[in-house]
Structure 1
Amino acid sequence: MPEIFQKESALDRFFNRLMGRALKLGFAPGYMRLLEVRGRKSGKTFTTPVNVLDFNGRRWLVAARGETAWARNARAAGHVVLRRGSNAESLIVREIADADKPEVIKAFLDRFASQVQRFFDVKAGSPVDAFRATASRRPVFELMSGS
């Protein structure tokens, strides 16, 4: 697949809505959360299901599709809310430098390959160096307590 933003298909939108409903009820895989972020232009709150990566003692969000709306909004807002059932967690997001991304992107793809491999030219299990070329096109955020 090309290393550019890939728009959601109708099937993707259907499954995201379905997963969003499941997350609101608390029924979904343990690594999934419903991300809430305020729109940088509209101020409206947007939601989307995301996979949260636990790696090296930290929590991460990776925009597998590339420069997504949620990533641009999170960057502008500086914080997000992650929901699962009745639990909500307000977190500060810190985008990391391109040089620090390959290891996190590799861990993300290795962990969630069945769901996100189609968005990457690099195959799951590849060495860290193979992810350097894609790092500048993938927003990666560290999640930190606060806000």
Structure 2
Amino acid sequence: MTDPRPPRWLKPMNRLMMAVQKLGLPTGPAYVLTVPGRKSGTPRHTPMTPFEYDGGLYTVAGYPGADWARNARAAGAGTLSRGRRSRPVTIVELGAEEARPVLRAFPGSVPVGVAFAKRSGLVQQGTPDEFEALAGRLAVFRFDPPRV
């Protein structure tokens, strides 16, 4: 099975979301993650919807091989912003086994992400079982406080 590609409207929509965030207006549950580009070092900004699970803050890549996930993996740290508030975070990628329960929790916590995954063809119904089956295919990250 070939992995789906991001839709053409995604980058313009992400730019709009970031512009609204820069104005200091929170956009629902969305945050903006900023990490240095893995090749250029230029700050890269990506809107995302992290969610709480078992006392931690997590996010799931919308597509296998997403560029922002590669940058986050390489950087290991970044800034998470919402409106005018931002905080530094350590970015920890979970292995497939560790990601399974987080992915099971995802559909109940991030409905917009479920709709996105359905449209992209990653899941059919958006059930916890379908998301759990994506472990090892979709990157799952935990945001921790910065390391001292």
TM-score over 0.5 (shorter chain): yes
Cα distance in 1, alignment partners of residues 25 and 7 from structure 2: 23
| 1:137 CA drift (Å) | 1.0
Identity, % of aligned pairs?
Answer: 31
Segments of 4+ moved more than 3 angstroms: 130-133
| 1:25 CA drift (Å) | 1.9
Equivalence for 1:121: 123
Cα distance in 2, alignment partners of residues 100 and 123 from structure 1: 23
Identify unmatched segments of 5+ residues in structure 1: none
Cα distance in 2, alignment partners of residues 137 and 122 from structure 1: 16
Picking from 48, 54, 57, the partner of 2:55 is: 57
Q: Amino acid of the residue matched to residue 123 of structure 1?
A: Q
Cα distance in 2, alignment partners of residues 121 and 30 from structure 1: 24
Identify unmatched segments of 5+ residues in structure 2: none
Cα distance in 2, alignment partners of residues 91 and 65 from structure 1: 22
TM-score by length of 2: 0.84
Q: Amino acid of the residue matched to residue 144 of structure 1?
A: D
Report how many residues are paired: 143
Alignment of 1:44-123 (within 5 A): 44-110=42-108, 111-112=110-111, 113-119=114-120, 120-123=122-125
CA RMSD of aligned residues (A): 2.0
Of 134-143 and 77-86, deviating more is: 77-86
Equivalence for 1:139: 139
Cα distance in 2, alignment partners of residues 133 and 127 from structure 1: 9
